[in-house]
Amino acid sequence: MIIILDTGFLFALRSKKDQYHERAYEIFNEFEEENPKSFTNYSIMNETLTLAISRSHGNISFLEKYIALFFGNDNFFQIFQNTPQEYTKIVEVCKKYVTSKRLLSFTDASIIYLYQKFNADYVVSFDSHFDSILNRKF
């Protein structure tokens, strides 16, 4: 099984105040038994670390939980680096899926691209705008 990890899930894993914290741990425990190949990308890392800084008002000890998640002993996934050519493909994903009623960010499009590239089984996300595009675990 291959899963792609979105910002909301990764943030909720470490933030006890997040509304999805408990559900994130339930999903984590479900997948832990199956030991899936898990991926995210550097756009998601950037978004998650930025969210941690913002929500904690610059609390470095809070940020360090996310540093450990991405680079330390808590890491359970691979971080995929897009090539310049792949960024062009992500732009094509934007062109295909962005509408006035579905405003995906470039980072969201990068998750869709990663999902398609790896022929993933699920994206783990609390964002419903993925629902008509891919299989979402939430």
Residue 55 phi, psi dihedral angles, 5° rounding = -70, -25
Helix/strand/coil (H/E/C) assignment for every residue in 62-127: HHHHHHHHHHCCCCCCEEECCCHHHHHHHHHHHHHHCCCCCCCCHHHHHHHHHHHHCCCCEEECCC
The single-letter DSSP state of residue 21 is H
pTM of the model: 0.93
Q: Which domains does the chain have, with CATH numbers?
A: 2-137 (3.40.50.1010)
Average pLDDT, the chain: 96
Per-residue pLDDT reduced to its tens digit, 62-111? 999 999 999 999 999 999 999 999 999 999 999 999 999 898 999 999 99
Residue 32 reports pLDDT greater than 90: no
| Alpha-carbon span 38 to 69, nearest angstrom | 13
pLDDT at 126 over 90: yes
- CA dihedral over 12, 13, 15, 17, signed as positive or negative: positive
